[in-house]
Every structure is written in C-alpha cells, then in structure tokens.
Amino acid sequence: MKMTKLAALLTATMLAAGPTLADTLHFPNLSYRTGPFAAGGIPFADGYADYFTLINERDGGIGGVPIRYSECETAYNTERGVECYQSIRNDNPLVLQPLSTGITYQLIPRATEDQIPIHSMGYGRTSAVNGEVFPFVFNYPSNYWDGASVMINWILSQNDNDIQGKKIALLYHNSAYGREPIPTLERLSERYGFTFLQIGVDSPGQEQGSQWLQIRRERPDYVLMWGWGVMNPTAIQEAANIRFPMENFIGIWWSGSEQDVIPVGTGAHGYTSLALSGVGRDFPLYDDLQNYVYDSGLAAGAGDQMGTVSYSRGIYAAMLAVEAARTAQQIHGVSAITPAMMRDGMANLVITEERLLELGLPGFARPFEVSCQNHGGTGHALVQRWDANEGRWDIISDWIESDRELIMEMVMEDSLAYAAENNITPACLN
C-alpha cells in the first residue's frame, strides 16, 4: 500500500516535470536562497521577482502578455545549475540569469546551442562583450575588467594620477569569478608601475586568517576585493581587526551590499565599493513597488530586502530584461516572443535618460546601447561608501569610465581564442 502510494506520487512527479506551455513570457531565475552565498542571492532574487510582479500587477505584463516567473535553486553549485538549466530549457525561458560566473561558463556553450540568451549582468565571461563570438551572451552594463579598470582609475584620481611604486593587493575568491580581473590588473600594473599582489581566498571564504596576515606583512597601499557571499563580511571584519584604512579597501560591486557591512558594525565605516546603480529607495519606482507588490502581500521571499544594494541590482536586472522583451516585441511585431526573438531585443537594447525617467528610475543607471560588437554596455561604475552611523551607502563619485581601449583589446584576444578553440566564425546574427 505504502509502495503504491509512493509510486503514484513519483509518477505524478514525473508527469509534472514536463513543460507547461501557455501564452506567457517565462522569465526563469537560477537563484540561490541557501548555502554560503545566500546572503547575496536572496536580495537579488527578491528584487528580480518583485519587478516582474510589479509589471504583471500594474501593467498586466509586457505588451499585454503576462509574465510567468519561476525559480530554481542552485545553491551557487554548478552541478545543480546544470540540473536547473535542463529542467527549464524546454520551457521557453526568455533569458537566463544564473548569478554565478561558474554556472555562466557552463551554460554559455549549451545555451548558445539551444538559442537561449544569457544575461550575466556584471559577472560571467568578460570576453562575451564580443557579440560576434558570443551571440547569445550579454554582460551589460559593465564587466569585471571594467570594474578593475574603474578601481584603478579611482585610485589614480585619489593620487594625482600617479601610483608609481604603490602596492595594490587583490583579495579574490579563488574561483572563476575571483580570477577574472587578474589579467586586467596585471596589464594596468605594467602601465602605471604599481606592484600587484594576488591573494586568493578559497571558497566559501570564511577562513582568511593567513591572507590578512600576508596583508599585514606586505602593507599594501590599497586592497581590492572580489568577494561574494560569506567572504565579504569576513574580509571586512578582518580588515577592521588589523585597522586597515577602510577608504583604501575597495570592493567590486558584488562586495558592497548592506549584508556585507552590517555584521561588522562601526568597524566597516568608510568601506568603499563600486556600484552599478544608484542606491537607496528614493526612486518613484519604489512607491509603485510598495503599492502594487508589498501592500498586496505579493513580495518575494521574506519581503525585508527592499532598498538594499543587491535588491536594487535585482530590480535593475529585471528592468533590463523587461525592456529587452519590449524591444523584441517591437522588432518582431508579436507579443508572445520566443527566446531567439528575445536575443534580438537584447542585442538592440537602448536605455536612455528619458526611458529611465518614464520607468520611475531617474538617474538610477547610466544610459547605454547594445550593439553586435559590444554586448557589454559602456563599462562605467560609481563608487559608494558605507556610512556605518547612518546605516546607508553614499555615492561619492561621478560615473567613472574604464579604460575601454585596453579592455576591448583584451576582449578581442580572449574571444578570438575561444572562437578558434570552438570553430566559431565571428559574425553578427541577422
């Protein structure tokens, strides 16, 4: 009896695993709300989900077609990421947002084969900027090599454009993610004459004793950080413990959210990081979110992440996805678009000041245009500083430009090597 029940349940499970097709736009999210990186994964997933809920509730979907949002838990684990991809690939996923550089690397060849676009927003494979080699992969608005270059440009601006002989350390998560900026920083160190020090932290990054001992011994002038999840608060705590000057400790945009600095308390005061977008809740869009999503109890997760940096980034990612879907609808003249049409929308996406104003996000992001040759946006970033007393991030710089000439040169090298390895002839689609 027990066995038959179990068997029946299993059969039901197998049947349910099949795809359900309906007149909806399917936006999946390979999220992670568990594991050592959940602290960053939860707010991003909440923001991503809430924006789609808002579009459904306020506008009735995109171009009249409602959005279907689904989540698959990866726990930042590549094997689970593959499983998730397999479970959604036949379900018309319009765009993949894996939020993990490792999973992105794994999905690039598969999704390209299946003609499903990937938006690795500010992470993933940097050389995917070259859309002739990576037609289905997009990493606008900025990538890691931009981030490294923006950091160096920021340091230059703090030092009267002379950092000859300075010592700059990179504290990185020892994974594909953390190693991405190394080639850029190596080139920049040759150009500007600073000493470049690489200090890797093994995943997940809770143990950094020896790394900070090394930092104490080497006394670098600046420490740049490529950290994620539990690694961030640990590193900031260690820096506070050795009284490293916080204004000289600069994190990438994934190392600068509330949950990274709050655990350290006042010790984190003055910690800086890059930012991809404006901070806080002072945007008209948040009023709509409050009205349509929060007040009607439709918020994703626990609903306590609104306004944090990672949450805003989730909003930003979902906004770009929705705008790309709109563009695709205009290009193809149909409202129920396919993943391949979505790709065209992403490849022709234009974000302007006026559009941001209409969306209720004035000044939130920097306008950019996507083209076949440039899937990576403009590569600008802001610098934000944590105010531990007020408990908020303050933007302390204008949009800083990256050294795009150098980065495009490196992108071409790396992407053409990839094309040669995989027998791809670089060419624009359509």
Partner 1 sequence: MLYREAGDFKTSYVADSQTFPIKFDRFGYYAILAIAFLGVPLVINDYWANSIVVPFLIYTIAALGLNILIGYCGQLSLGTGAFMAVGAYGSYKLMTAFPELNIVFVIIAAGFITAGVGVLFGLPSLRIKGFYLAVATLAAQFFLIWLFTRQAWFYNYSPTGMISAPTREVFGFPVTGPRASAVSMYMICLCFLVASAWLARNLTRGTLGRQWMAIRDMDIAAEIIGVNPLMAKLTAFAVSSFLIGISGALLFTVYLGAAEAGEAFGIDKSFLVLFMVIIGGLGSIFGAFAGAAFLIVGPVMLKLLLVNTLGWPTDLAAHLEIMIIGAMILVFLILEPHGIAALWRTIKEKLRLWPFPY
Q: Which stretches of the chain bind partner 1, using CB under 8 A?
A: 9-10, 12-14, 16-17, 31, 33-34, 38, 42, 71-73, 75, 77-79, 82-83, 86-87, 89-90, 101-102, 105-106, 109-110, 112-114, 125, 174-176, 179-180, 182-183, 200, 202-203, 301, 414, 421-422
Q: Taking the CB of residue 236, how many other CB atoms lie within 10 A of it?
A: 28
Residue 344 or 414 with smaller CB distance to partner 1:
414
In angstroms, what is the minimal distance from the CB of 1 to partner 1? 18
Cα–Cα distance, 158 to 240 (Å, whole number): 22
Longest dimension (CA), the chain: 79
Q: Which residues pair with 251 in a beta bridge?
A: 225, 273
In angstroms, what is the minimal distance from the CB of 191 to partner 1? 18
In angstroms, what is the minimal distance from the CB of 35 to partner 1? 8
* CA 322 to chain CA mean position, Å: 16
Q: Taking the CB of residue 388, how many other CB atoms lie within 10 A of it?
A: 17
Q: Do 301 and 66 meet the contact criterion of CB atoms below 8 Å apart?
A: no
Residue 80 or 392 with smaller CB distance to partner 1:
80
In angstroms, what is the minimal distance from the CB of 349 to partner 1? 25
Strands in 349-413 per DSSP E = 350-351, 368-369, 382-387, 392-395
Instruction: Give the burial class of 346: count Cβ atoms within 10 A of its Cβ; 0-12 exposed, 13-18 middle, 19 or more buried.
Output: buried
Q: Do 129 and 142 meet the contact criterion of CB atoms below 8 Å apart?
A: no
Residue 142 or 327 with smaller CB distance to partner 1:
142
Residue 29 or 378 with smaller CB distance to partner 1:
29
In angstroms, what is the minimal distance from the CB of 11 to partner 1? 10
In angstroms, what is the minimal distance from the CB of 2 to partner 1? 15
In angstroms, what is the minimal distance from the CB of 182 to partner 1? 7
What's the helix, strand, coil split of the chain in %, to 5? 45, 15, 40
Cα–Cα distance, 30 to 85 (Å, whole number): 8
In angstroms, what is the minimal distance from the CB of 376 to partner 1? 16
Q: Which residue has the tokens 């050592």?
A: 36
Phi-psi region of 333 (alpha: psi -120 to 50; beta: other; left: phi over 0): left
Q: Which residue has the tokens 């999220």?
A: 31
Residues in the chain: 430
In angstroms, what is the minimal distance from the CB of 110 to partner 1? 5
Q: Do 255 and 273 meet the contact criterion of CB atoms below 8 Å apart?
A: yes
Cα–Cα distance, 52 to 323 (Å, whole number): 12
In angstroms, what is the minimal distance from the CB of 140 to partner 1? 20
Cα–Cα distance, 430 to 412 (Å, whole number): 21
Residue 89 or 380 with smaller CB distance to partner 1:
89
Q: Taking the CB of residue 19, how many other CB atoms lie within 10 A of it?
A: 11
* CA 192 to chain CA mean position, Å: 28
